[in-house]
Each structure stands twice: as structure tokens, then as C-alpha cells.
Amino acid sequence: MPATSPSHASTQGRRTAAPHLGAPEWDELAERVCQAAEIARQHGLQATFHLHAGTWVESRADLDELLRRAPAPLVKLCWDVGHAVCGEVDPIAVVRTIQRHGINVIGNFIFGLRDDTLETMKQTLHLALECLPDFANFYSCMAYPGSALYTQAIAENWTLPSSWRGFSQHNDDCRPLDTEHVGAAEVLRFRDAAFRIFFNDGYYRAQVERKFGAAGIAEIDRMLKYHLPRKLLTGEIK
């Protein structure tokens, strides 16, 4: 069974107009997914399925059909907000669906994309607090060498880290990209503040305690005791 088809390519983002699988076809798709996941498991790997625009698994209904047939923890999910929205899916609803199937969710959130403003970065933080994944990583936008963004940064003469250490998210030399509206120092300051706001949030901490008990909260508190040194914020680097 093909993963995509010309009809899906032409209807991505308009799921109601796309062709749909019947029950036998869902069974076949899920069986193949589980077979691939089992091969990965036998080699010590965790298989994940990516909900993607323009494929058979694009909408929330598609996701439910797959999860009913491909159980966790054999198959876990890897998805992004952009594909969810394109598939006419509420990203927060997707997180709740995944959690209802017994899968713990790790969310990755990036601050400082090229057109980000302070307000849009606040919206990203708000999304993280609304989604309430079981754990979250917060990143400042970085043009890593070898990426298309790095090529663009070189071509357009953007300011980049002066050393390899500066590309490391948690290094004291960390130097993310400037946006068109916000400087790198403000991006990094916001990222570090967002990290603490999220892990100190009462609703998040209550969720962690329900799932993982007091030990989970203790681990979070141990993590929060450490404050990352940032030369960009003290003026030691520019």
C-alpha cells in the first residue's frame, strides 16, 4: 500500500476531500507498521510513526484508526504542529489523543525563528503550556553547519557563533540567531525564562505527579537548581 498518492498530494490540508481507507486497508497498514516496529525493537530501536500532510495518516480520525491497531509502546509517534494544522488537526487535541493511548509525550519548542517577535515567542510558550507534554525541550533557533539555514545565514551575512561551542544549546558560549525583530540575547533570555516557567507551572507539575509520583517532581526540582551560565547575557560575547 503506497504511503502517498497523487490524490493525497492534491488534497493535503483538505482531508475531507481526500480518499479514505476502509477497515481492511487500515488493518493492512497497521500490520505493516507493526511489522516494521517489531524489526526495530529486535535491534534495540524504538519505532516512531510520523503523522504527515498528504498521506494516509493525516487527520485526527486517521491517527485514531492507526493507534487502535498499532499499540504503544511498540509504536510511538513523532509529529509536528505544522503537519497537524495542515491536516486540520488541533495540535492540543493530538497531544491529548496520544496521552489517552498511554504514550508519554515529549514536546520540542523553538524560540527565535527568523520572523519571531517577542509576542510570537510568548505564543509558542503559551502553546507549550496548553499542550502540557509530559516533558519538554526548549531551543533557541540555531543555524547549524550543514543545514539549509546555515547556508542561508552565510549567504545573507547573519551573525553566527564565533566557535563550535557557540552552537551548543546549553553551553555558556551559546549564541542563537538574531530574528528580524529581536536580538540573539533577548531570544536566549526568553528561552531560559520559558524553561523555568514551564517546569514550575502548577498544572504541569500536577500532571507529572499523577503519572510519575513524587520522584518525578524531585527530578524536576533537581534540574531547576542548575542555572545555565550565558556569556551572551553578561556581555562577554556579542
| Cα–Cα distance measured from residue 238 to residue 234, given in angstroms and rounded to the nearest whole number | 10
- Given this model, what pLDDT does residue 93 score? 83
Which grid coordinates are listed for 26?
Answer: 487500515
Task: For the chain, give the DSSP string.
Answer: --S--HHHHHHTT-GGGS----HHHHHHHHHHHHHHHHHHHHTT--EEE---TTSSS-SHHHHHHHHHHS-TTTEEE---HHHHHHTT--HHHHHHHHHHTT---EEEEEE--TT--HHHHHHHHHHHHHH--SEEEEEE----TTSHHHHHHHHTT----SSGGGG-TTSTT------SSS-HHHHHHHHHHHHHHHHT-HHHHHHHHHHHHHHHHHHHHHHHT-----HHHHTS--
- Given this model, what pLDDT does residue 202 score? 98
- Given this model, what pLDDT does residue 218 score? 98
**pLDDT of 76 strictly over 50:** yes
Of 84, 103, 122, the domain-final residue = 103
| Cα–Cα distance measured from residue 100 to residue 92, given in angstroms and rounded to the nearest whole number | 12
- Given this model, what pLDDT does residue 196 score? 98
- Given this model, what pLDDT does residue 5 score? 53
| Cα–Cα distance measured from residue 199 to residue 193, given in angstroms and rounded to the nearest whole number | 10
Higher pLDDT, residue 205 or 10: 205
- Given this model, what pLDDT does residue 20 score? 79
Of 103, 124, 146, the domain-final residue = 103
**pLDDT of 217 strictly over 90:** yes
Higher pLDDT, residue 46 or 103: 46
Counted domains in the chain: 2
Mean pLDDT of the chain: 89
| Range with lowest mean pLDDT among 2-6, 57-61, 213-217 | 2-6
What mean pLDDT do residues 139-154 have?
A: 96
Same structural domain, 113 and 97: no
Same structural domain, 79 and 159: no
Same structural domain, 213 and 174: yes
What mean pLDDT do residues 32-38 have?
A: 94
- Given this model, what pLDDT does residue 222 score? 97
- Given this model, what pLDDT does residue 1 score? 42
Same structural domain, 31 and 2: yes
Of 103, 134, 159, the domain-final residue = 103
- Given this model, what pLDDT does residue 200 score? 98
Same structural domain, 99 and 111: no
| Range with lowest mean pLDDT among 27-36, 97-106, 137-146 | 97-106
Same structural domain, 148 and 224: yes
**pLDDT of 10 strictly over 80:** no
Same structural domain, 133 and 226: yes
| Range with lowest mean pLDDT among 61-75, 140-154, 167-181, 202-216 | 61-75
Same structural domain, 19 and 122: no
Range of the domain at 15: 1-103
| Cα–Cα distance measured from residue 19 to residue 27, given in angstroms and rounded to the nearest whole number | 16
Same structural domain, 95 and 122: no
| Cα–Cα distance measured from residue 220 to residue 212, given in angstroms and rounded to the nearest whole number | 11
Same structural domain, 34 and 68: yes
